Amino acid sequence: MSNLKFFFEPKTVAIIGASERLKFGYGTTKYLLESPFKTYPVSLTKNQIMGHKAYKSIKEIPEEIELAIILVKNDNVLQAVKECVEKGVKGIIIETAGFAETSIPKYVSLQEQIASLAKSSGVRIIGPNCVGITNFKNKFTTTELDVNKLVKGNISIIAQSGVLGNIFIDWATSQKIGFSKAITLGNKIDVDEIDMIEYLEEDPDTSVITIYLEGVKRGNTFKFVLKNMKKPLIILKNGRSELGAKAIKSHTASLAGNDRIFEALFRQFKGIFRVNNFYEMFEIAQVFATQPLPKGKNIAIITGSGSLGILACDLIEKEGLGLAKLESKSMEELRAISPNWVSVKNPVDLGPSQFSTLNPALNILFHDKKVDGVLFIFSVPELPLKQWSLSVTPFLRRMKHLSRETEKPIIICVFGSRWVFEYLLEKAVKFSIPLLNRIDHAIKAFRFMHEFYLHKKE
């Protein structure tokens, strides 16, 4: 297993193709030059970049360079890589696109020459056709992200494609889902998902690994890695259809492979979870990252909306989980605290008065021996929420306390306006309670977490 630390914590960085112009790479150049990371711009045309002396070649930099970021256009990449090798860098991130994915022989061959150079020299290369990496802990990034907005957490993401990793981190950041490392691999001429999974398995800041995959080159090693995973691995793999598989070829020059083989592989090993889209991937990852594993498969639902409780029932049955049959003691206690018209069966529908009885109801449900996890579906419309000037913090604190005390997971689903979502999100994140927009993701998260619990127990 190779040490890839220099990609995430480089002592020195060179940006080859640093630019003052507002084009791809501008944001990265600006951020790194202004950051505490020791960064040198390399430019063929400029003597100065944003007030920093620019070098004509990486070889002219009067210091050892650990990591080079290459942004020059595709025709000039090979020369830049050669100079990096001569300089003795440890790692290179080639962000430039326009190689094997074009299917144009000249650029396919250019990629092969770069790959040979990596092999013969021992330099480690990420890319080409990617946006490199982001380390949320030390704020080192080769990607155009607003670093001040980033939310730190324990989820890491490996994505093949550049822009995709980027926009979904934007999304996750809006949802206050916290990350540890984000890695985009592009055409994978050297460093691939296997290297990165191995690195993240050992990374103390990562507790859940997520990966967006278009194809795998080292099939047997990949299988070996999947078999021996210690952390939960959540996989999104596209190219399920023939149309999709064809499109992959011209995207990152990967072979999608037969999707049935992948599907079988993912099912064969425990702790590997396939999802259908990025929203599902990150929301489920966040549950893994913040909640205890459910020891059984029986869920209690508590809500102010009977309809959404019913939807949750449909999904619980679909996912093969159980709707917790409450102990009769719990039912009696619920009846004692509820208005006459409230259903005290599971799903517990507290109706519009949900907040007057929520805390005692939570107490009853978390302490019920038949309950392995709690789903709270928040359903207060925006206007009453504003008019009541309701403070949700005491409820969230209670949930967190009960969850910790009973070692049972809690997930909140919220529906309604963006304002309501953000109002709740701001508070929920302080208690590390995952706030999801979709019940299907919540129920799937319970299932995956329970499967992971059984796997760990084996």
Q: For residues 16-35, which are near a copy of itself according to CB under 8 A?
A: 22, 24, 26-27
**Looking only at residues 323 through 362 of this chain, which bind a copy of itself when binding is defined by CB under 8 A?**
323, 339-343, 345, 347, 349, 351-353
**39, 134, 135, 166: residue in contact with a copy of itself (rule CB under 8 A):** 166
Task: Kindly report whether the peptide bond that precedes residue 128 is cis, defined as omega within 30 degrees of 0.
Answer: yes
Rounded CA gap, 288 and 206, in Å?
11
Give the CA diameter of the chain.
81
**60, 146, 405, 426: residue in contact with a copy of itself (rule CB under 8 A):** 146
Least distance to a copy of itself, CB of residue 31, Å? 9
Least distance to a copy of itself, CB of residue 99, Å? 8
- Per the CB < 8 A criterion, the answer to whether 139 and 151 are in contact is no
**Looking only at residues 30 through 69 of this chain, which bind a copy of itself when binding is defined by CB under 8 A?**
none
Burial level of 313, CB count in 10 A (0-12/13-18/19+)?
middle
308 counts as binding a copy of itself under rule CB under 8 A: yes
Rounded CA gap, 308 and 305, in Å?
5
Q: Indicate the Cα dihedral angle 285, 288, 294, 296, nearest 10°.
A: 40
**29, 39, 154, 252: residue in contact with a copy of itself (rule CB under 8 A):** 252
Q: Which two tokens stand for residue 70?
A: 């290459």
**34, 63, 317, 332: residue in contact with a copy of itself (rule CB under 8 A):** 317
**212, 222, 423, 431: residue in contact with a copy of itself (rule CB under 8 A):** 212
Task: Kindly report whether the peptide bond that precedes residue 347 is cis, defined as omega within 30 degrees of 0.
Answer: yes
What residue spans of 104-218 are helical by DSSP H?
Answer: 105-121, 162-174, 193-202
Q: Indicate the Cα dihedral angle 149, 424, 413, 435, nearest 10°.
A: 30
**12, 111, 134, 160: residue in contact with a copy of itself (rule CB under 8 A):** 160
Strand order in the sheet with 124-126: 38-42, 12-16, 67-70, 91-94, 124-126
From 453, 458, 450, 456, select the one nearest 299 (Cα to Cα): 450
**118, 151, 163, 229: residue in contact with a copy of itself (rule CB under 8 A):** 163
The binding track of 265-304 with respect to a copy of itself, each residue x by CB under 8 A or -, is ------------xxx------------------------x
**Looking only at residues 381 through 440 of this chain, which bind a copy of itself when binding is defined by CB under 8 A?**
381-384, 387-388, 415-420, 438, 440
Total residues contacting a copy of itself by CB under 8 A comes to: 86
Least distance to a copy of itself, CB of residue 343, Å? 4
Least distance to a copy of itself, CB of residue 261, Å? 16
Least distance to a copy of itself, CB of residue 249, Å? 10
Residue span binding a copy of itself (CB under 8 A) among the ranges 45-53, 290-298, 379-387, 445-453: 379-387
- Per the CB < 8 A criterion, the answer to whether 51 and 64 are in contact is no
Q: Which two tokens stand for residue 155?
A: 């989820």
Amino acid at 69: I
Q: Which is nearer to a copy of itself, 98 or 360 (CB)?
A: 98
- Paired residues of 165 in beta bridges: none
Neighbours of 242 (CB within 10 A): 10
**Looking only at residues 69 through 128 of this chain, which bind a copy of itself when binding is defined by CB under 8 A?**
74, 97-99, 101-102, 104, 107
Neighbours of 9 (CB within 10 A): 13
From 233, 174, 171, select the one nearest 206 (Cα to Cα): 233
Q: Which is nearer to a copy of itself, 104 or 264 (CB)?
A: 104
From 7, 121, 129, 25, select the one nearest 67 (Cα to Cα): 7
Q: Which is nearer to a copy of itself, 228 or 277 (CB)?
A: 277
Least distance to a copy of itself, CB of residue 3, Å? 29
Least distance to a copy of itself, CB of residue 56, Å? 25
Least distance to a copy of itself, CB of residue 394, Å? 18
Least distance to a copy of itself, CB of residue 65, Å? 25
Least distance to a copy of itself, CB of residue 351, Å? 6
Q: Which is nearer to a copy of itself, 174 or 359 (CB)?
A: 174
| φ, ψ dihedrals at 433, nearest 5° | -100, 125
